[in-house]
Every structure is written in structure tokens, then in C-alpha cells.
Amino acid sequence: MSLVVVGSMAYDAIETPFGKTERVLGGAATYIALASSYFTHPVQTISVVGYDFAESDIQIMRDHEINLEGVQIKTDEKSFFWSGKYHNDMNSRDTLVTELNVLGTFDPIVPASYQGCEYLLLGNLSPDVQRLVIERLDKRPKLIAMDTMNFWMDIALDSLHQTIAMVDVLIINDEEARQLTGEYSLKRAAKKIMSMGPKFAVIKKGEHGALLFHQDEVFSAPGLPLEEVFDPTGAGDTFAGGFIGHVAKTGDVSFDNLKRAVVYGSALASFCVEKFGPERLLGLSPEVIETRVNQFVRLANFDLT
């Protein structure tokens, strides 16, 4: 079923304890669209890139049958650039550079062919732009999920609150949930998030898994212990892509199905961290994904007797 994905398309410079890269394809929409393309079609992307965005990187998206009609190309500006350095535990990182470039003046266009979409994933981007996309859709989608990060909490908190009030699911990590709500307890943080508007709160805990909250219910998905973790960049976006991809594929927005979506999101994210940039997300197969999902099921399964 149709899914619209909004977010940055970028070049990243990344340093982890295992290596360094000066320029690799990145961006929230890139990771989300690649991940969700394994579940549903069409994946309709809204983003903006600059003159420096390589045709070969556009082709990677096309190869995954991702619709790029809503991706603007600005010939007089550079693409969004982000640089981050991971600490030794790989669970935390410092942002070194955020150059908005084309994102600074981004006015999202919703192509006519995207109207009537059933699912909307608002990836990391200015909350003003995220809200504009909701407002420019003729009909409210069946489910709107959004991601954000500390950068937007620091510079656009009021706008962020306005956007959060309009969505069904907020997906953020533990550190961001604490910053947004001022609560250390993730349960309390989730309650506060749900009082801001969303019916569901997903709190990601890096290698320690993810929590899904809805009313008084909570579901915990484990993090899969991996032998190789090279680069966590994009894991959060990939999680969001797997999550919304599963929801769009099944068309079911019940709490029980969102639990499964959290596991699919976690499984896709577990691939993402195994290589630098989005490389590991290219050329997966449904069988490989299903095998990984079953590892999550076995990991958390136990009998009391």
C-alpha cells in the first residue's frame, strides 16, 4: 500500500572506532526508503538534493524501485551534509558538522501522484517542513509516524511540538525522549509523549532494543547481539523504514501489529550497522530478512515451565 517518505538525502562523513569515511551516501529519507522498499510499493519520496548529488546514488534508489518524483534537485546549492563521530561504545555519538545547505530553504512539493497515500513517514527534517507535508496532503493518511532528533529540539522546539501533536506515532531514541520530556524514566517519558498527541510512542535504545508504548501497554523488542558493528549511522532511520514498511504491507495499525513492526524495524536496523553507510541495505532478500526476524523471535522466546 502506498507510503510517502519525507526526509533528508545527504552526504555524511563518519568516524567510528573501526574506520572513517569522508563522504558516504546518507540522509534519513535514503535509509527509510531503502528499508521500506523491502516491504511495500510504491515508496514515494519527498526530499531535496544539490548539484553535488551523484547520479549513481540516485540510481541506487531507483534500483530499489523507489519513486523520486518528489525529490527536488537544486542546481545552485550543495546537498545536506552531516558529520558524526562515535564513542567507543558505539551507542553514543557527537555531531561534528550539520550543513543544512539545500535543506535550509526546502519547500516540499507533494506530487499529484502521491495524493491519497495511506501511510506517511516523516523522517528527520525541520518540523516546519514535516508539518507542511501533512498540510499539503489532500487527505489525512491512515497512519502518520515521525522521527526527529536533538538538533531540532535545540533550535525549533515550538514547531516540533506542533508537528508532534499531528502524528500517530513518534519514533525517537532514549536520549531524545529524555531531552524532549525532561523525564529520565522511559515509561514516564512515553506517557508525556502520548499526552502531546501521538497514540503510540516508540523509544529506541540502540543496541539494547526498542520499546513500543500505547495507552497502558508496553512491548519490548530485544536488540540482537551482533558480531560485527561497524557503523550505527542510519540505524534509527532504517528502523523507521522497516517499521512503516511492515505496517504499509499489512495495512494493520493495531497495537499487536505494531509490535511486529517494531521487530521488523529492529531486524532491518541490525543489517544497517554491519557496514558503513547504507551498503548493507542494498541487495537484501525477503528470505534473508525473514531469517533475521526469526533470530529476534528466538532471542526473546522462553517457556516458564
Q: Which residues bind ligand AMP (CB under 6 A)?
A: 8, 10, 12, 26-28, 82, 98, 124-125, 149, 151, 233-237
CB of 31 to ligand AMP, least distance (A): 6
* Residue keyed to cell 557496514: 275
CB nearer ligand AMP, residue 40 or residue 130: 130
CB nearer ligand AMP, residue 26 or residue 108: 26
CB nearer ligand AMP, residue 125 or residue 132: 125
Which amino acid is residue 231, in one-letter code? D
What letter would DSSP give residue 21? E
Contact 173, 236 (CB under 8 A): yes
What letter would DSSP give residue 267? H
CB nearer ligand AMP, residue 240 or residue 293: 240
CB of 231 to ligand AMP, least distance (A): 9
C-alpha span between 185 and 201 (Å, rounded)? 14
Which amino acid is residue 57, in one-letter code? D
CB of 73 to ligand AMP, least distance (A): 17
CB of 173 to ligand AMP, least distance (A): 8
Of 210, 194, 278, which Cα lies nearest the Cα of 243? 210
CB nearer ligand AMP, residue 78 or residue 191: 78
Contact 264, 239 (CB under 8 A): no
Counting every residue, how long is the chain? 305
CB of 149 to ligand AMP, least distance (A): 6
Strand partners, 45: 5
